[in-house]
């Protein structure tokens, strides 16, 4: 699960970086920035739901503050 979350975070950061790249390159003439940001939001919501479902199913457990 740790590897999955790490990969998801990397994909979210990459999507944010591509949105910045398209914003600087296209100067607002295309909708690629909006698509990249929508992909980032979709990935973030998906990650949140997977973590929530994994907790409910008992695949992950809280460890508390050590």
Q: Which is higher by pLDDT, 56 or 64?
A: 56
Tell me whether residue 16 is exposed, middle or buried, using C-beta atoms within 10 angstroms of its C-beta: 0 to 12, 13 to 18, 19 or more.
Answer: middle
pLDDT tens-place string over residues 33-54: 999 999 999 999 999 999 999 9
Q: Is the dihedral of CA 46, 47, 48, 53 positive or negative?
A: positive
pTM of the model: 0.81
Query: What local confidence, expressed as pLDDT, does residue 29 receive?
Result: 82
């Amino acid at each position: 699960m740790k590897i999955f979350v790490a990969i998801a975070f990397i994909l979210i950061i990459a999507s944010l970086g591509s949105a910045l790249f398209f914003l600087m390159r296209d100067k607002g003439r295309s909708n690629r920035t909006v698509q990249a940001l929508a992909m980032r939001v979709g990935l973030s919501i998906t990650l949140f739901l997977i973590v929530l479902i994994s907790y409910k199913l008992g695949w992950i457990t809280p460890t508390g503050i050590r």
